[in-house]
Amino acid sequence: RKEVEQDPGPFNVPEGATVAFNCTYSNSASQSFFWYRQDCRKEPKLLMSVYSSGNEDGRFTAQLNRASQYISLLIRDSKLSDSATYLCVVNIGGSNYKLTFGKGTLLTVNP
Amino acid sequence: DAGITQSPRHKVTETGTPVTLRCHQTENHRYMYWYRQDPEHGLRLIHYSYGVKDTDKGEVSDGYSVSRSKTEDFLLTLESATSSQTSVYFCATMTGVEAFFGQGTRLTVV
């Protein structure tokens, strides 16, 4: 089982749609969780951290379920500019920070 | 942006030749990483560093070595390039909360 697994996608949605991405992780000792965004042929950039209590940033909502080892990202009112690959990222923690990435889910928002 | 520069940005090399990729950061971050990104595998950690001269292997370290003689520079060497090492290579630094990536190096081994 891979350490971080995501919906394979791709997702094609119309502008204004709500879209949800799911991610599971295998290591129960994982300590911190993130969603990164990667535009085509660009480097990944942090979209948002994911907290146990859930967190929201504008149209984006991230949730964490430690018991099920599950992370989600919800995008409401999709914009054309949301088209990108979304990467689920887990930090197992300990003294050396090592991020493990899911393979990513490609989102295309259509006009 | 975290001031991470990778060089070269693009390189074509022949099988069997050594290749060195350079990562330079201006933020004085302690942690630095080399990842490779392939369509079928996503981003995978090659090597990482947690301080000057302190490095460790990631999940795909075979055929790669690294060196970090200064805080700001982290070098990745392909000792004898193979076609399976054709990939996009990303350097990253990390604070306790966020990783910052360089723009990537597209390496083709022919």
Q: Other CB atoms closer than 10 Å to residue A59's CB: what's the count?
A: 13
Q: Is residue A106 less than 8 Å (CB to CB) from chain B?
A: no
> Which residues of chain B are within 8 Å of residue A95 when distances are taken between CB atoms?
50
Q: Is residue A103 less than 8 Å (CB to CB) from chain B?
A: yes
Which residue of B42, B58, B90 is in closest CB contact with A102? B42
**How far apart are the CA of B28 and the nearest CA of chain A, in angstroms?**
16
Mean pLDDT score, B11-39: 96
- Asked whether A22 and A105 are in contact (CB, 8 A), the reply is no
- What is the residue whose two structure tokens read 């290591």? A27
Q: Is residue A1 less than 8 Å (CB to CB) from chain B?
A: no
Reported as a pLDDT band with limits 50, 70 and 90, residue A46 is very high
**How far apart are the CA of B79 and the nearest CA of chain A, in angstroms?**
24
Interface mutation target, options A40, A43, A55, chain B, most CBs of B under 10 Å = A43
Reported as a pLDDT band with limits 50, 70 and 90, residue B1 is low
Contact A44 B42 (CB under 8 A): no
Reported as a pLDDT band with limits 50, 70 and 90, residue B60 is very high
**How far apart are the CA of B16 and the nearest CA of chain A, in angstroms?**
27
Alpha-carbon dihedral of residues A23, B106, B99, A30, nearest 10 degrees? Answer: 40
> Which residues of chain B are within 8 Å of residue A104 when distances are taken between CB atoms?
42
Which residue of A42, A45, A103 is in closest CB contact with B42? A103
List B107's β-bridge partners, or say none.
B11, B87
Residue A82 has pLDDT above 70, yes or no: yes
Mean pLDDT score, A76-100: 88
Reported as a pLDDT band with limits 50, 70 and 90, residue B2 is low
H/E element holding A21?
Answer: strand A19-25
Q: Tell me chain A's radius of gyration from C-alpha atoms.
A: 14
Interface mutation target, options A99, A100, A106, chain B, most CBs of B under 10 Å = A99
